[in-house]
Amino acid sequence: MEVLRPQLIRIDGRIYRKNPIQEQTYQHEEEDEDFCQGFVESAEEPCDGYEVVQTQQGFQCTVKAPSLLYKHIVGKRGDTKKKLEVETKTSISIPKPGQEGEIVISGQHRSGVISARTRIDVLLLTFRRKQPFTHFLAFFLNEVEVQERFLKFQEEVLEKCSMDHGVDSSIFQNPKKLHLTIGMLVLLSEQEIQQTCEMLQQCKEEFIDDITGGKPLEVEMKGIEYMNDDPGMVDVLYAKVHMKDGSNRLQELVDRVLERFQASGLIVKEWNSVKLHATVMNTLFRKDPNAEGRYNLYTADGKYIFKERESFDGRNILKLFENFYFGTLKLNSVHISQRFTVDSFGNYASCGQIEFS
């Protein structure tokens, strides 16, 4: 990261710079806790962005955060919390580990309380981004016809292309888990799951009903495509999904849902539009049948995982099955699905959903 081009972090519509720092590490201690330096706030103090209450002792502000992230505000031996308190001239009260509650910032000066709140928000966002994704918004694509056609696709690919490098049965998706992802989520508490359910319901009332007309969206799964730029070294092969009537309604719906969740902070903004696809082959499945695409990059404590994958030669598959027909579906619901769980039908367990009709 260049000094003149620091990382930008968006919080509540404002953009902050995070300066590069030289971190000191200690033997036998984790590195990711030593993280308090290097914050530079925007030139204009965001005085109106937070609710700051005046008290008899001065000013106070509260921060809602899942207990899993408390340790990142405390830091090693409490160093991060102490440094924040000294630099902002505030007192920061954090619930004990495992207890849900609010972080309370108190100080004699309003500006100090706001500065501490801003820095805590940056810390929370930074370490939230290092958490593994726990849930995702998705359409299920596992209707019986599509599952049968998918198994036919698998059978024919193995019959005609099994001699191609890297092609074997281990890299095919489980047909019961076929889905179309709208966005990935990090939900670290029951309150955040409930917030996601409420946000999805708001989307339904505000624009989804208008887009769908209160009816299921009839779509077609047809044709295959690959993610990277070399068909001879493919890691992910997916089926294309589009509206049967040729309209753009499905794309409009998922893009607007994504936009709403990004604005709320529940989904980190990476793209402006969703690439509609249903994964049918993935080389991560080769070693871990429960792996889920590129979304399994961090452990629960924020450590990066490098997953070595053996790509496959997809040239013949792309040539022979370019327009393979997987079937027609009626999409009637969006689910909040939980990763690494299954329901009684073998699909991802759903924590909540909305229906169109």
The CATH number that applies at residue 215 is: 3.90.1140.10
Instruction: Let me know whether 102 and 68 are in one domain.
Output: yes
Per the prediction, the chain carries an average pLDDT of 85
- As a whole-number percent, the residues of the chain with pLDDT over 70 amount to 81
Residue 273 pLDDT greater than 90, yes or no: no
Residue pair 119/61 in contact (Cβ under 8 Å)? The answer is no
- Specify the DSSP class assigned to residue 176: G
Instruction: Let me know whether 327 and 264 are in one domain.
Output: yes
Q: How far apart are CA 175 and CA 149, in angstroms?
A: 9
**Structure confidence at residue 10 as a pLDDT band (50, 70, 90):** low
User: What total of structural domains would you count in the chain?
Assistant: 2
232 token code pair: 């001879």
Instruction: Let me know whether 178 and 315 are in one domain.
Output: yes
Q: How far apart are CA 354 and CA 306, in angstroms?
A: 35
Instruction: Let me know whether 162 and 107 are in one domain.
Output: no
Summarize pLDDT for 15-38 with one digit per residue, the tens.
555 555 443 433 333 444 444 444
Residue pair 130/32 in contact (Cβ under 8 Å)? The answer is yes
Instruction: Let me know whether 90 and 210 are in one domain.
Output: no
Instruction: Let me know whether 152 and 272 are in one domain.
Output: yes
Summarize pLDDT for 281-331 with one digit per residue, the tens.
999 998 876 666 544 455 545 554 555 789 999 999 999 999 999 999 999
Instruction: Let me know whether 87 and 141 are in one domain.
Output: no
Question: What CATH number does residue 65 fall under?
Answer: 3.30.1370.10
Q: How far apart are CA 301 and CA 236, in angstroms?
A: 27
Of residues 95 and 266, more confidently modeled: 95
- Determine the 3-state secondary structure of 348 from DSSP: coil
Beta strands in 291-346 (DSSP E): 325-331, 333-338
Residue pair 79/134 in contact (Cβ under 8 Å)? The answer is no
Residue pair 354/202 in contact (Cβ under 8 Å)? The answer is no
Q: Containing domain of residue 64, as a range?
A: 52-130
Q: How far apart are CA 241 and CA 233, in angstroms?
A: 23
- Determine the 3-state secondary structure of 289 from DSSP: coil
Tokens 């998706």 map to which residue?
Answer: 173
- Specify the DSSP class assigned to residue 87: H
80 token code pair: 């991060």
